[in-house]
Amino acid sequence: LEEPKKRLPRIGYRTIYEDLREAICSGIYAKHDAIPSSRGLAEELGVSRSTVNRAYEQLVAEGYIVVGPGTRPRVAADIHADRTVHQSEPVEVRSADAELSAFGRRLIDSHQRQRSRAPSLRIDFRYGSIAGEDFPLANWHRSVNAVLRRREKVLSYQDPCGSPALRQALQNYLWRARLIKCSCEQIIIVNGSQQALDLLARILLDPGDPFVIENPSYAMARNSFEAEGAKALPIEVDEHGMMTEQLGGQRARLAYVTPSHQYPLGGVMSIERRMQLLSWAKRCGAWIVEDDYDHEFRYDEKPVAPLFSFSADARVIYIGTVSKSLSPGMRIGYAVLPHALTGVFALAKQLADRHNSVLEQDALADFIQSGLYERHVRRQRRKCNLRRETLIRALKDTFGDRVEIQGTQTGLHVVIWFRDIPITQEAELIERAHTMGVGLYSIRPLCNPPLPGERNKQIGLVMGYASISLTWIVEGVALLQKVIGDLRL
Ligand SMILES: Cc1ncc(COP(=O)(O)O)c(C=O)c1O
């Protein structure tokens, strides 16, 4: 028997009129926005064009939209509904949700420890952002166009390890920039270093496994490992990086380190400690994850060779990113893996998202191979060096010995400690600065457990400067001085 044909309800002009009016009043379409053409909407809804036209005439008559010859109808200029906020709000998390997996529950726990999203600020010292005007738009355009011109005969899924052109370009680049000798097969392209951390956590850690991490450390790395249920073994750091002598007889499955530029305090791991870390890893069969996130921004001397190059028994996984040099929004990073891990890492990558966007990978390959990337990095380094010097000078001139500035030789941020303001004033200082339009961020969420000694009693701020102009850097420090002047000390 044939199934009786289900009839779709007929859409009349009134429904179209009411739905569009609602969309305009709630800000889904804001003033001047184009709304669908009557032909397009009629086709979409399966109604006659005259039905749509009737709805549009009603909206014109009531002043919601305007129509002109040869253009799409637009929302009228005097409609003032607020545009619907499309940016994601801070995730609202419900705790104690029995329907979640253990992984889901661990995510909620770590979320509760994180700081909330800041409102938009005039001068934002948030670490991680870079200035929009620094992006090499014209040259990037050129590389994207070069890729688009090479039209593929068939569009299909690609190798999860990444585009061959980009892996080749990175193999050459890593040798030039970091003296890393590896084969293309060892390089796997990921969606930012964050994805490498996530995939490594999945393939190397089981719930309950101990992992070593610097304290203070990069919270996103720690969160990835803890979300797998692994247990952190925090190790203190000083100006020579992780104090590997504290590793002693500790056993762990993995150690996460930032040896070229300890995040966030800025130490560079000494050769002795590098050797100590490698022999500890060998002794207990641990993997080392080396996060080389900002090596392009070393201002004083040549960067120290990465741990990866020292590891004779291939226990080091090296990860890098273009988030500092090009844009954090690009989401391109790379992992250089020991041969033993490439296969399983590629499987995890394929399961996560098949592979990165081919267009962007190939554009980056072109950008690197044509020499434009390194030219851009040199320019960026000069610009960020100026920002860095301006910030340090402004802080010294304004606060003199009251502040200690740490981690000044590399990267896109510094850490400052106020010697004479009690920690109890930190929240108020940050809050007041925010109300004046200045974004400041405490180092506290990165310290777990709290740092020993005096540090735990001092106000410590992580100040990123890569997105701020020189004038605003100076202005930001002046406002900080004003905020401090207003505190009841
Ligand atoms: C220590 C560290 N690693 C890695 C990154 C970059 O991560 P991604 O490549 O996922 O943007 C950052 C960015 O702030 C960082 O501070």
Give the distance (Å) from ligand 1 centre to CA of residue 107: 19
Question: What is the distance in A from the centroid of ligand 1 to the CA of 106?
Answer: 22
The predicted-structure confidence for 64-102, as pLDDT tens digits, reads as follows 999 988 889 999 988 777 665 555 545 555 555 668 999
pLDDT digits (tens, 9 = 90+) for 114-137: 555 556 799 999 999 999 999 999
Whether the predicted pLDDT of 5 surpasses 80: no
- What is the pLDDT of the chain when averaged over all its residues? 92
b/e code 384-411 from CB counts within 10 Å (16+ = b): beebbebbbebbeeebeeebebbbbebb
Residue 379 is predicted with a pLDDT of 97
Those residues with Cβ within 8 angstroms of residue 63's Cβ, 6 or more apart along the chain or in another chain: 76, 78
At residue 17 the predicted structure's pLDDT band, cuts being 50, 70 and 90, is: very high
pLDDT band at 477 (very low <50, low <70, confident <90, very high): very high
Question: Residues 186-210: pLDDT tens digits?
Answer: 999 999 999 999 999 999 999 999 9
CA–centroid distance, 197 to ligand 1, in Å, is: 10
Q: Which of 113-127, 444-458, 463-477 has the highest mean pLDDT?
A: 463-477
| d(CA 189, ligand 1 centre) in Å | 15
Q: What is the pLDDT of residue 310?
A: 86
Bridge-based pairing state of the strands 254-257 and 333-336: unpaired
Q: What is the pLDDT of residue 94?
A: 59
Residue 486 CA to its chain's centroid (Å): 34
Picking from 331, 355, 335, the residue whose alpha carbon sits closest to that of residue 288 is: 335
Residues with CB under 6 A from ligand 1: 128, 192-194, 218, 258, 263, 291, 293, 321, 323, 328, 333
pLDDT higher for 54 or 5?
A: 54
pTM, two decimal places: 0.89
HSE-CB at 473 with a 13 A cutoff on CA atoms is 23
Report the amino acid identity of residue 458: Q
pLDDT at 444: 95
Q: What is the mean pLDDT of residues 463-483?
A: 97
Residue 357 pLDDT > 80, yes or no?
yes
Atom in ligand 1 nearest the alpha carbon of residue 328: 11
Instruction: Count CA within 13 A, CB hemisphere, residue 325.
Output: 25
For atom 5 of ligand 1, the residue with the nearest CA is 293
Residue 43, C-beta contacts closer than 8 angstroms, at least 6 positions apart: none
pLDDT at 3 over 80: no
